[in-house]
Every structure is written in structure tokens, then in C-alpha cells.
Amino acid sequence: MRLVTVGTGTVVPDPGRASACLWVERDTERIVMDCGTGALQGLARAGLPWGDVSHLLVSHFHTDHINDIPALVFALRHGLATPRTAPLHIAGPVGMRPLMERWAKALGDWLLDPGFPVSVSGLAPEEVFPLGDATLRIHPTPHTDESIALRVDAPEGSLGYTGDTGPSDALADFLAGVDILVTECSLPDELAADKHLTPSRCAKLATRARPGTLVVTHVYPQLRERDVADGIRRAGYEGRVVLAQDGAPFAIGEATG
């Protein structure tokens, strides 16, 4: 399994960071997790085969996590040298289908009927979603009413993504033992808010979850000028911490990187 942190920014415009987007590939699956503003161009900048995306998974409906979904579908419809025939599977929180239907009313029927099959699913927390011989599971997060975290377990390893979240021991338990945990870390501790994490909250979550590598993303400008990874370590976390950059690759499996 290969992970690329395509978009590591927030809703605040940043010339070096697109909004939230991860790329995950394994076997025949090409998975986009969240698709915020600038994600489509970020996929192209990273040299990723965006035209081969098989699944689009959404953590919640804030614009910095979903804005480029119509752009991606439009590019799959018009931007490929060979017309696409493979299906696109879109899944997210309950409410995903109504969201896409409202967009289609505003933008055009092509969004749900772009010339290739599109399926749209809303996932309940107890559901298990198959990804070839891997599985996707989800867990609610304290951010918005619909927010979910994502966990992919495959024979070669596992990946967790918090999406946006406030502190939650139950979430840490859900993500326990993953090889790579991609977590938001939005704000410094002195600006802590109920619906986001800080370095000390990330340290608590990671100490409980014990991932192989903690990859930190979604850092707001108020925190970005600091050494975020060092702040998490100083808050008590003793594992490996990496501050995500747009386009950075990580391997999950025999050659974990």
C-alpha cells in the first residue's frame, strides 16, 4: 500500500499546500481520501494517475475537504485522452448521496452521469466497506454531525485517517495499531478548540493508538511557524512523527517509509 499526502493544508489559502487530500494505492485500487480545494492540481503535480481513481472517500462536508469533487468528476469526463469506462465509487458519511444530488441540480446531470458508472454511498459507523481484499471501516469524530475517521486494513498493513476531529479516546482505540496514522493538528495548545486537535492532544491520541508512524496534517497558520513534530514529542509522545508536505510519499508494507 502506498500513501501520498497530496493536500496538507486547511481552508486558509496557502501557495504551498492544497486543502485536504490523500492518495492511497494498492493492487487495482486507486483511492482519494477527501478532495478539498486544489486537490486535483495537487494530484497532477505529484505525478499521480488521477484518471485511474477507483474510489473517492469523504470524511465530512466542510468545503476544504470536498470542493474539488465536481472538478475531479469533470476532469474524468473531459480531461482524459481515452474516455473513461471504469466505475467511480464515492462513499462518505450518511448524507453523501443527497449532497451529490444537490450539486448535480446546480452544476448539471453530468456529475452523477458523466459517461461512466458512478455509485454514491453513505456509510454508517458500523458498516464495513470492501476494497478488494482490504476493508474500510469508519468511526464518528467530534467535529461535525456527520464527520468520520477512516481506517483501511489490508494484508500488507493498515492506514488510519482522522479527518477533522476533536479529542476522543474512542477514536484512538478505533485507530489503534495502524502502520501509519494521518492526523489533523490544527491549532496550538493555547488556542485549543473542542472540534480540533493540538500538539498535546495529538500526543495523547497517538500514545493511546500506538501507530507505526504519525503523519501530521491540516496545520493552521497559527501553529505552522512552530516545530509541530517537536511539540508533539515534548507533550509526551515517543513514537515517530512526520509533518506532512504536499506530494510526500509513504510506503505501508514490507518497505515502510
Q: Which of 185, 200, 179 shows the shortest CA–CA distance to 253?
A: 179
Q: How many CA atoms lie within 13 A of 99 on its CB side?
A: 20
Backbone phi, psi, residue 117, to 5°: -65, 135
Q: How far apart are CA 2 and CA 6, in angstroms?
A: 12
Query: Which residues are part of the catalytic machinery?
Result: 64
Q: How far apart are CA 56 and CA 41, in angstroms?
A: 16
Q: Which residues contact 11 (CB under 8 A, 6 or more apart)?
A: 19, 37, 62, 63, 64
